[in-house]
Amino acid sequence: MQPAAPSVSRRLLARLRDVMAGSGSAQERLDKVVTLIAADMVAEVCSCYVLRAGEVLELFATEGLKKSAVHKTRLRVGEGLVGDIAAHARPLALADAQAHPHFAYRPETGEEIYHSLMGVPIIRGGRVVGVVVVQNRTMRHYTDEEIETLETVAMVLAELVASGELVKRDEQVAVDGNALLPLRVEGIRLNGGVGVGVAVLHQRRVTIRRLVAEDPEVELARLRTALTGIKTAIDELFARPELRDGEHRDVLETYRMFTEDKGWLARIGEAIRTGLTAEAAVQKVHDDTRARMSQITDPYLRERLHDFEDLANRLLQHLSGDEGLARGELPDNSVLIARTMGPMELFDYDPKCLRGLVLEEGTPTMHVAIVARAMDIPVVGRAKEVLDKIEPFDSIVVDGDNAQVFIRPPEDIRESFIQAIGLREQRIAGYAKLRDVPAVTTDGVSVGIHMNAGLLLDLQHLHDSGADGIGLYRTELPFMARSSLPDVAAQTLLYRKILDQADGKPVVFRSLDVGGDKVLPYWNPYEEDNPALGWRSIRITLDRPAVMRHQLRALLRAAAGRELRIMFPMIAEVNELIQARRILDIEVEHERQAGHPLPEKLLVGTMLEVPALAFQLDALLPRVDFISIGSNDLAQFLFAVDRGNPRISERYDPLAPAMVSFIRRVAHRCRDTGVSLSVCGEMAGRPLEAMALIAAGVRCLSLSAPSVGPIKSMVRSLDVAATAAYLDRLLELPDRSLRDKLKCFALDHGVVL
């Protein structure tokens, strides 16, 4: 059979348009549609299945099968060929359908005489809402063009299915989403903080009123005009003062590149040439991309697909002239609720009105999370099915610190969070008074309190918080915000800005620490059974020394004439440190011979996260200027516990005798040899854990900016000698955790927690 020409598709679309605009019930129009499709595609059968509650596909209309089977034949998603199409959201074309292992025979349909089958999912908003199928008696080999035609037709059917005339819109909504009862939804923390307000649903879906185009060239020109409008809007964002610097600027640069993606634009262009309007073509490619997103496991690719989704929504708004909710209409205590968001979409809202953001999807490295941190908005991600459970302008609380969302909370819960926000503001005001006060204990022990950072925007908190410096600068975050590896010049510029803004306070740069759950797209990661124990961190950069050399070269140039502190991550054996130091020495000599000014002072240290390194301290300590314990990974490796596994992530307490004893032994060895020791994981930022660390001999802590005040307040109320003596008596106990005993000690001795 000859491939279907684009004109055939346009003719069919025009006929479907007339049927959809005509009179009659939705069922009558659907009956006419399947008849038209069967005739136009030269098929003996055309059937339409619609998804109903309970993940059931019901035969709603057919031309060719027995009419008595309509509304009686049902298949579960995943059952039979129709169920397989729905489950995987992808087309299926078979010359001999009955030979396929998934074929499910339904005698009431009379389909046993039909051999070939072609089916495509009916997709609306990225979700499968039905399946349309054609069948032939002969063993027919369907062409790619015929599949494309049926996919285009399915888009028209999606509008009919979604209208609510065939199946009520609320049929597939979860029961607890209909009953307006208080709910608590858990997720993951994408940005800390607490916000109380009303829900604003981020539903930027544009209603497409015209599907069939009269002139494809006119539609292609409209598409080009819309793309130009988006690029102009991005340029206007770049002109904003608050976006002059920072990694969120790199995010927008990457986003701008998507507007020129040739493959994506080519697919839209092809859809327009089949007879769709520009809006319908964008929507078709958009829905197809979203449906296939569920089949992709790579986290970076999933997050980049979110950016394409953002771009598609924006294109639809430009093409239709529907700009959505105006800034002036946004309630002044808005909490945005969305399945996902692209980085540009967040800039559409007035940040002064935003109190939080809740996403059904998301990871800490997705672009919108990076932008939200720049805007200091609490964000909870992976809040499962939250869109099904909330109504516009519902009362809502976003607890970013504890990764939970309260929907329609009772007044007492809402008031408690409002009070907590007020108390937090009071505490912050109290901590601000301690900004310039030294962190010295009641018995005269000085404790260094440094700040963790990973973005330029974090530097604004360095001086406001009163931190002594940056104890950990995570250099990988700028790498993750870009679509390609930053060159030496770009890195040099960034590191110089960091040192400039630190204004003389020390900055410890941790060399590139990626792998595991921190994926770089340009390094082609491969599947690993245990990524936390796999090819990550120093193992990657030692295997790819050019990447390390470029980063070290940039750091040396940025710190010319100033002090430079470099720390290598996840060192498991001293030989790895020796290799890294050798590469650093090569770069120092390279810069010297090139006549470039060198840092005034160079200090080299290592992270201690792998327990094996603690058994090599005799060889390690003479080779480093400082050591920083990463308590998060150390606990993971010490207890052999996967931090990402919710069944065991809380099974072991970092205040267990084994963990505290381990850190105490390292602290005493470092003290005896004069090597500076710090702790930079989550333990350092919690007052009770920090109290135990100081009692164990740690004299330097590095933590998030909001934790600086609480930790300094605790330090200034602590008697180290008394606490250390008490801790020594506890370490030989077989207890699972020392937490309760230490908490009681703190309360009895007036330690501020």
Q: Which of 392, 420, 448 is the last residue of a domain?
A: 420
- Model confidence at 23, pLDDT cuts 50, 70, 90, reads confident
- Does the residue 502 lie in any domain? yes
Residue-wise pLDDT for 582-640, tens only, equals 999 999 999 999 999 999 999 999 999 999 999 999 999 999 999 999 998 899 899 99
Burial string for 318-341 (b: 16+ CB within 10 Å, else e) reads bbbeeebeeeeebeebbbbbbbbb
- Specify the DSSP element, H or E, that contains 627: strand 626-629
Q: What is the CA radius of gyration of the chain?
A: 30
What is the model's pLDDT at position 262? Answer: 74
- Does the residue 525 lie in any domain? yes
Q: Which of 177-181, 378-382, 571-575 has the highest mean pLDDT?
A: 571-575
Active site residue 367: yes
369 with 362: CB under 8 angstroms?
yes
Which one of the listed residues 46, 48, 670, 680 is annotated catalytic?
Answer: 680
Structure letter (DSSP) for residue 230: H
- Model confidence at 172, pLDDT cuts 50, 70, 90, reads very low
What is the pLDDT averaged over residues 273-282? Answer: 85
CATH of the domain at 511: 3.20.20.60
What is the model's pLDDT at position 405? Answer: 92
CATH of the domain at 299: 1.10.274.10
Comparing 306-315, 447-456, 508-517, the range with the smallest average pLDDT is 306-315
- Model confidence at 524, pLDDT cuts 50, 70, 90, reads low
pLDDT of 20 over the 60 cut: yes
Spatial separation of the C-alpha atoms in residues 617 and 668, rounded to whole Å: 11
- Model confidence at 244, pLDDT cuts 50, 70, 90, reads low
Spatial separation of the C-alpha atoms in residues 609 and 532, rounded to whole Å: 12
Residue-wise pLDDT for 418-433, tens only, equals 877 777 777 777 777 8
Give yes or no: residues 64 and 196 share one domain. Answer: no
- Does the residue 429 lie in any domain? no
Residue range of the domain that includes 99? 6-172
What is the model's pLDDT at position 179? Answer: 38
- Does the residue 753 lie in any domain? no
Q: Which of 295, 320, 345 is the last residue of a domain?
A: 320
Strand ranges for 391-480 from DSSP E: 395-399, 404-407, 448-453, 470-474
Give yes or no: residues 521 and 559 share one domain. Answer: yes
- Does the residue 425 lie in any domain? no
- Does the residue 210 lie in any domain? no
Give yes or no: residues 482 and 547 share one domain. Answer: yes
Comparing 176-180, 266-270, 484-488, 556-560, the range with the smallest average pLDDT is 176-180
Number of helical H runs and strand E runs in the chain: 26, 22
pLDDT of 178 over the 60 cut: no
pLDDT of 192 over the 90 cut: no
Give yes or no: residues 98 and 120 share one domain. Answer: yes
Domain count, the chain: 4
What is the pLDDT averaged over residues 707-718? Answer: 93
Helix axes 687-695, 739-748, angle to 10 degrees: 90
End-to-end CA distance of the chain: 78
Give yes or no: residues 78 and 167 share one domain. Answer: yes
Which one of the listed residues 367, 450, 550, 670 is annotated catalytic?
Answer: 367
pLDDT of 124 over the 50 cut: yes
Active site residue 680: yes
Give yes or no: residues 555 and 635 share one domain. Answer: yes
- Does the residue 379 lie in any domain? yes
What is the model's pLDDT at position 320? Answer: 74
- Model confidence at 737, pLDDT cuts 50, 70, 90, reads very high
Q: How many CA atoms lie within 13 A of 512 on its CB side?
A: 28
Q: Which of 420, 443, 471 is the last residue of a domain?
A: 420
Give yes or no: residues 291 and 356 share one domain. Answer: no
Give yes or no: residues 19 and 159 share one domain. Answer: yes
Give yes or no: residues 542 and 686 share one domain. Answer: yes
Comparing 165-169, 237-241, 421-425, the range with the smallest average pLDDT is 237-241
Give yes or no: residues 592 and 720 share one domain. Answer: yes
Q: Mean pLDDT in the chain?
A: 84
Give yes or no: residues 617 and 499 share one domain. Answer: yes
Residue-wise pLDDT for 319-362, tens only, equals 877 655 444 467 889 999 988 776 667 777 888 889 999 998 87
Give yes or no: residues 523 and 629 share one domain. Answer: yes
CATH of the domain at 405: 3.50.30.10
CATH of the domain at 156: 3.30.450.40
- Model confidence at 243, pLDDT cuts 50, 70, 90, reads low
- Does the residue 250 lie in any domain? yes
pLDDT of 108 over the 70 cut: yes
pLDDT of 552 over the 70 cut: yes
